[in-house]
Amino acid sequence: MSRRQAQNSSYLIAARAFPNRNVTDANVRRVPPTPIPGASHLQSFHELTENNRTSYPENPAVFERIPSIEMSEPQKPATAAPEKVDETYTESKAKFEGKAKSEYFDPCQELAQKSIKCLHRNGGDRAMCGDYFQAYRDCKKAWFDKLKADRKAQGAWW
């Protein structure tokens, strides 16, 4: 492509992009051609696209085989099984079962698992699992109150 052809193509691109403006040399931004991998240094983007135009099939039956995008049924969200959570807790329970005191021990873990299972069963609807959440909160409060009472009995001030 000669310099004059490149200049004319820049004018055409600018004229198409801004049809209501007067396209002159001053307001056309020229971008230097970038090398295309696999192309010789003489080939430009325009030459490559002119030589490699995609031909569309003349037979319209080809397009009839394309499936239409219609929603026949609303898609349901995939619910993940909480099996992994159960396995993790049983592994940690087995690991620390022999210890007298463990920082990982939580007596309310069973209620937490039930509330998580309820969430999975109801598709994440928190309103349906309010009883499970309240039972877990009550258990946690009772456990912390017991820990505070034990600390006070041992003489700790906090």
Tens digits of residue pLDDT in 97-108? 555 555 567 889
State the pTM of this model: 0.35
Which pLDDT score is estimated for 49?
Answer: 53
The Cα–Cα gap between 136 and 143 comes to 10
Tens digits of residue pLDDT in 33-69? 666 666 555 555 555 555 554 545 555 555 555 555 5
**Displacement of CA 157 from its chain's centroid (Å):** 48
The Cα–Cα gap between 110 and 49 comes to 65
The encoded tokens of residue 1 equal: 């492509």
**Which one has a higher pLDDT value, 49 or 119?**
119
The Cα–Cα gap between 102 and 25 comes to 79
